Structure 1
Amino acid sequence: MPQMAPIGWLSLFIIFSIIFILFSMMNYYSMMPQTPMSQASKKHSTSPLNWKW
């Protein structure tokens, strides 16, 4: 069984690398971030911190 030529390994590496990069970019950019709510509509529960040492 003949060995695969080095140029064949190089082309496979380049093709799989491009596919991996495209797949990663599609996963990263496909998710829409949630829009942050305005500060007026958020209710912050601020309670004073009483430290008892």
Structure 2
Amino acid sequence: MRDDELLTIPEVMARLKIGRSTVYDLVRTRRLASVTIGRARRVPAHALVDYIHAHLEEAV
């Protein structure tokens, strides 16, 4: 995964193995950064990595 890659919501769902509504909830609550391009929502790959690292730190 490249740092400058933009992921679709289904790609984020697959990588985190969570549902669509959960991904949108993470975006809505700003726990997962995203950008809107036209009508499409994209999640920068680095934002997904940051979210995973933050979530791991919370668990410890």
Is the structural similarity TM-score above 0.5? Answer: no
The structure with the largest alpha-carbon Rg is 1
TM-score range for the pair, normalised by the shorter chain length: 0.3 to 0.5
Structure 1 or 2: more helix by fraction: 2
| TM superposition score normalised by structure 2 | 0.30
| TM superposition score normalised by structure 1 | 0.33
Larger RCO (CA under 8 A, 6+ residues apart): 2
Structure 1 or 2: more strand by fraction: 2
